[in-house]
Amino acid sequence: MKLRLRKHDLLAVALGAVFCQLAAQEPLPQAGAILDKYIQATGGRAAYEKLRSEVRTGSMEIVGKGITFKMTLYRAAPSKSYMVLEVPGVGKIEEGADGQAAWSRSAVQGPRVKEGDERAQALLAAAFNADLRWRDFYKSAETQGTEEVNGQSCYKVLITTKEGLQQTRYYDKKSGLLVKATMIAKTQMGEIPTESVVSDYKTVDGILIPHKTFMKVLGQEILMTLESLKTNVEIEESRFQAPEEIKALLAKKKP
């Protein structure tokens, strides 16, 4: 026996297929809601607002090369930062920012003041509680879709700063935690694509902090491990002052 479908039966089948497709498409949340959920998932606004300073110590390992160096990072509100890396065979590499100027100093490159996009990127990184105050720094945030990262289903969010710098972040759909971030780093050597995967979240003073960051930069794999984090500690103002060589370079730039 032949089964014959009438025209309205065919229409019903077609409409059913359409509705099934629409049902399968999960509506994407607004990017702002995803960024705000991250703050809530990691401790909440009140916990972040209690923080005024921090000192982080840890290590950076170039995977497969047998090279590991120590890292110490000092930060204070609203936008002071000083980091020192102790690299075997190279010596100290220092990075600093104070909300206006950003600089670096090493035995290889000497003192240097950062300019343009490189300066803007460094100042954003130095801004204390920037994730909490993201509306102050980003001119737009857009949910671009979903993507799997190491087996985790994530929302993909593109953020653009007021200076036009961009970063793509991947937030776990269930937990709201940041899983991965990609960006084009602005450096003295030019633009460098970077990828960072964060993990090993642990609670410190009421806030979930990733203690491991796996980075891919210029074909190298780097594992950053956070070993100690102290918050709301007294940091001497001199810690954030630029070295005399940097002050001299900044003085030359003044009109």
- From first to last of its 255 residues, the chain has per-residue pLDDT tens of 444 545 455 555 555 555 555 445 568 999 999 999 999 999 999 999 999 999 999 999 999 988 899 999 999 999 999 999 998 888 899 999 999 999 999 988 899 999 999 999 999 999 999 999 999 999 999 999 999 999 999 999 999 999 999 999 999 999 999 999 999 998 888 899 999 999 999 999 999 999 999 999 999 999 999 999 999 999 999 999 999 999 999 998 776
Place of tokens 């200076």: 163
Domain boundaries, the chain: 28-253
pLDDT the model gives residue 237: 95
pLDDT the model gives residue 88: 85
Please report, for residues 90, 134, 205, 236, the alpha-carbon distance to residue 50 in angstroms, rounded to integers and kept in the order given. 38, 17, 10, 19
Conformation bin of residue 200: beta by default, left when phi > 0, alpha when psi is -120 to 50: left
Domain at 28-253, CATH homologous superfamily = Lipoprotein localisation LolA/LolB/LppX (2.50.20.10)
Please report, for residues 60, 121, 129, 133, 218, the alpha-carbon distance to residue 47 in angstroms, rounded to integers and kept in the order given. 28, 26, 11, 14, 36
pLDDT the model gives residue 9: 59
User: 214 in helix, strand or coil?
Assistant: strand
Q: Which residues pair with 132 in a beta bridge?
A: none
Q: For the chain, what percentages of helix, strand and coil (3-state, to nearest 5) are there?
A: 25, 45, 30
